[in-house]
């Protein structure tokens, strides 16, 4: 479904700040795979997401989605196939527009936008139906402006908007990190439900090791732009935080640097 071949990316090349962000990474996701990505700050997790979604162009390497080479495809074209949820709950929705208008924009993702009405009666019924799956009562607030929703509600809506058109790939970039623990758990559970419901091929970056262990069928650990550990479905079942930290120490010879990762 998703295939990364020898992806390489350097920031600030030729300056004293030169940094290898992604170091010849290969990664393949089969249809229905749910891969969680962990790693310390600056490991290249977000850069990897941005390269897959087309925000950044790799210096070397190829990206294939659904068998198509999309390396040179622009971000907006590629996003027909990619659903994204960002860390910032404000980033995934348009605050001064209503819930139903936001959903209508998401609904047009894989279609050509025309001069037809964005929110029709038929669509409104459909939106109400999909909103019910969030169990937040948003189905009764279709014409409320999204800016009035709480961070958790907005993130739940973003998640729904990113997924209900069933994109080929779903990218989740620390989408629970900015929420308080109870909200984060709500979004985590919704993520599990929705990914299972639509059988989405998913790549999720997280700082929360427990979350990375609980969700998904595969796990990768990144450090300094490389994938240093891959855990397959079989081994992921008995994985623990201690086990992961030990693995890191064994591979790198140092303690994992991010206290944020350990504590959360």
Partner 1 sequence: MFTAIFGSFEAGIIYAIMALGVYLSFRILDFPDLTVDGSFVTGAALSAVLIAGGMNPFLATILALFAGFAAGCMTGLLHTFGKINNLLSGILMMIALYSINLRIMGRSNIPLLNTETSFTKIGEFFDSLGIDSFFNSLLTMVGLGDSLPGTWGILIFMIIVTFVIKWLTDLFLQTEIGLAVRATGNNKQMIRSFSANTNLLTILGLGLSNALVAFSGALIAQQGGFADVGMGIGMIVIGLASVIIGEALFGTKSIARATLAVIGGSIIYRIVVTLALRVEFLDPGDMKVITALIVIIALTAPKLIEHSKEKKRKAKRRQEKMNRLQASAERKGENHAALKSDS
| Residues forming the site for partner 1 (CB under 8 A) | 53, 75-77, 79-80, 82-84, 86, 90-97, 101, 104-106, 108-110, 113-119, 161-162
CB closer to partner 1, 119 vs 239: 119
| C-alpha dist (Å) from residue 105 to 30, 100, 117, 162, 213 | 29, 9, 11, 11, 33
| Rounded Cα gap, residues 162 and 156, in angstroms | 10
CB closer to partner 1, 93 vs 176: 93
Q: How far is the CB of 149 from partner 1 (least distance, A)?
A: 14
CB closer to partner 1, 173 vs 223: 173
Q: How far is the CB of 114 from partner 1 (least distance, A)?
A: 6
Q: How far is the CB of 226 from partner 1 (least distance, A)?
A: 27
Q: How far is the CB of 34 from partner 1 (least distance, A)?
A: 20
Q: How far is the CB of 24 from partner 1 (least distance, A)?
A: 27
> From edge to edge, which strands make up the β-sheet containing 169-173?
82-85, 169-173, 201-205, 34-39, 218-223, 226-231
CB closer to partner 1, 93 vs 202: 93
180 CB-side CA count, 13 A: 4
| Rounded Cα gap, residues 156 and 130, in angstroms | 12
CA 42 to chain centre: 17
CB closer to partner 1, 87 vs 208: 87
């Amino acid at each position: 479904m998703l295939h990364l071949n020898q992806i390489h990316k350097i920031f600030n090349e030729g300056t004293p700040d030169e940094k290898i962000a992604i170091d010849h990474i290969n990664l393949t996701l089969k249809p229905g795979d749910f891969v969680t990505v962990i790693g310390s700050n600056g490991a290249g997790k977000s850069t990897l997401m941005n390269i897959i979604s087309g925000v950044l162009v790799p210096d070397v390497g190829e990206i294939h989605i659904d068998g198509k080479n999309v390396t040179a495809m622009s971000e907006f074209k590629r996003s027909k196939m990619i659903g994204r949820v960002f860390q910032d709950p404000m980033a995934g929705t348009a605050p001064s527009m209503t819930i139903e208008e936001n959903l209508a924009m998401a609904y047009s993702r894989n279609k050509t936008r025309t001069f037809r009405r964005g929110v029709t009666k038929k669509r409104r019924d459909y939106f109400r139906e999909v909103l019910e799956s969030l169990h937040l009562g948003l189905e009764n607030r279709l014409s409320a402006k999204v800016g009035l929703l709480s961070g958790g509600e907005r993130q739940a809506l973003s998640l729904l908007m990113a997924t209900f058109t069933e994109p080929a790939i779903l990218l989740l970039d620390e989408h629970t990190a900015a929420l308080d623990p109870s909200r984060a758990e709500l979004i985590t559970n919704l993520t599990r439900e929705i990914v299972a419901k639509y059988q989405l091929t998913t790549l999720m970056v997280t700082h929360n090791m427990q979350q990375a262990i609980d969700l998904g069928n595969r796990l990768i650990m990144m450090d300094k732009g490389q994938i240093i550990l891959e855990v397959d479905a079989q081994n992921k079942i008995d994985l623990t935080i201690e086990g992961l930290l030990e693995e890191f120490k064994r591979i790198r010879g140092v303690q994992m640097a991010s206290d944020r990762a350990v504590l959360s």
